[in-house]
Amino acid sequence: MHAIVQCPKCFRHTVAKLPQKTRQCPYCGARINVEKYTRATAPDAISASELVKKFNAKLAHQGIDKWFKK
Ligand SMILES: [Zn+2]
């Protein structure tokens, strides 16, 4: 099982492979408590990454993307 976790610092989503307890944010380097910040779960890595893309795209629509530096 994979969890889609949201970083509490930069709000972007990433995938954690359960039963992983913490995940380091690939964007800002913050440690994410997997249990606390899980937004969804997916049965495999492919659907998990699809959800991450969807969630991050949604953030972009909400205007949080202005915080994202490319
Ligand atoms: Zn982050």
**Cβ atoms 14, 20 nearer than 8 A:** no
Residue 25 near residue 32 (C-beta atoms within 8 A): yes
Looking at the predicted structure, is the pLDDT value of residue 68 above 70? Answer: no
**What pLDDT score does 66 carry?**
63
Domains of the chain: 2-65 (3.90.820)
pLDDT at 70: 52
How many Cα atoms are found within 13 Å in the side-chain-facing hemisphere of 40?
16
Other Cβ atoms less than 10 A from the Cβ of 19: the count is 9
pTM (2 d.p.): 0.86
Distance 56 CA to ligand 1 centre (A): 12
Residue type, 54: K
Helix (H, G, I), strand (E, B) or coil at 32: strand
pLDDT at 56 over 60: yes
Cα of 42 vs centre of ligand 1, distance in Å, is: 20
